[in-house]
Amino acid sequence: MAAPAGHPVLRALLSRPTPAVMGVLNVTPDSFSDGGQFIAPEHALAQARRMIAEGADIIDIGAESSRPYGAQPVSADEERGRLRPVLAEIVALGIPVSIDSMKASVTAWALETGAVIANDVWGLQRDPDMAALVAERGSPVIIMHNRDGADASLDIMKDIAAFFQRSLDIAAKAGISAGSIVLDPGIGFGKTQEQSMTVLARLDELLVFNLPLLVGASRKRFIDSITPSAPDQRLGGSIAAHVIAAKSGARIIRTHDVAETVQALRVAAAIGDKR
């Protein structure tokens, strides 16, 4: 059981009986699943409203694709330029917004604009200014495991544990409160398809850190390795993975498909209550 979150935003999100649902909003032209669909500000705002109506507890907005293969790096100025027309309006919708960025300068701007959670896909280990920024702002931070490339010979659970320990050491030295940290094992990032499945099967081993876990298996490629399918045809596999993750202790589920995920998590929890 994870220690109680110290940050009020996390306390509110983690106090409910089923995992909080984080809706994915990519304002990018090249994200693996929905690239280009929401880059127009009016489309992004409409999608945020739709996800909130469907039960999203958090909106996670990103303006640079972090997909493991073929993503095009963008400058901090371009990333802010994609966010500027929509971020403040999405914040005004009234639920917590997380900023999915690996750049401290973009994260700082987003937090100033009203985002409340930093979501760093490099777990405080890529941008040397990220940990100090998070500590200074006192914001919650999602620390995700990542690698520059997959290595099938690794014991992936040991690699994740070692990565998290390095990130937590960085966080502690910067003065980030443990009660503000969420851990994300990074399904699909720097992992073979088999390793992604292993992480989901052994997710409960990461509870040893006594911190809340976030899982984002939505539309990931490992589903295609089991049942060949395009990203937008992986809803069933995504829900299966997320229900398993919730049963294994995940407290936040990150998804493109909010309504279906909310329903699946609530039904699984209701059935579990009858045991």
> Which domains does the chain show, CATH number per domain?
8-272 (3.20.20.20)
In degrees and rounded to multiples of 5, residue 100 shows phi and psi of -90, 95
Residue given tokens 């945020």 in the structure block: 48
pLDDT tens, 51-90? Answer: 999 999 999 999 998 766 666 789 999 999 999 999 999 9
pLDDT score for 104: 98
Which residue from 137, 142, 133, 58 is spatially nearest to 103, judged by alpha carbons?
133
In the DSSP assignment, the letter for residue 90 is H
Which residue from 211, 210, 183 is spatially nearest to 199, judged by alpha carbons?
183
Share of the chain above pLDDT 70, in %: 94
Residue 30 reports pLDDT greater than 70: no
Q: How far apart are CA 203 and CA 104, in angstroms?
A: 29
Q: Any idea what the Cα angle at residue 80 is, between residues 78 and 84, rounded to 5°?
A: 120
State the average pLDDT over residues 33-44.
Answer: 75
CA 213 to chain centre: 10
Residue 15 reports pLDDT greater than 70: yes
Question: Over the Cα atoms of the chain, what is R_g?
Answer: 17
Token pair recorded at residue 229: 């399918």
Q: Within 10 Å of residue 117's Cβ, how many Cβ atoms? A: 28
CA dihedral over 153, 243, 34, 124, signed as positive or negative: negative
Indicate if 158 belongs to the active site: no
Q: How far apart are CA 62 and CA 27, in angstroms?
A: 6
Residue 32 reports pLDDT greater than 70: no
pLDDT score for 81: 95
Residue type, 263: Q
pLDDT tens, 93-152? Answer: 999 999 999 999 999 999 999 999 999 999 999 999 999 999 999 999 999 999 999 999
State the average pLDDT over residues 258-265.
Answer: 98
State the average pLDDT over residues 214-236.
Answer: 97
Residue 4 reports pLDDT greater than 70: no
Residue from 82, 221, 251, 254 carrying the catalytic annotation: 254
pLDDT band for position 177 (cuts 50, 70, 90): very high
Residue 168 reports pLDDT greater than 80: yes
Indicate if 220 belongs to the active site: yes
Question: What residues pair up with 23 in beta bridges, in sequence order?
Answer: 59, 255
Residue type, 188: G
pLDDT band for position 38 (cuts 50, 70, 90): confident
Residue from 220, 221, 234, 251 carrying the catalytic annotation: 220
Residue given tokens 């407290």 in the structure block: 251
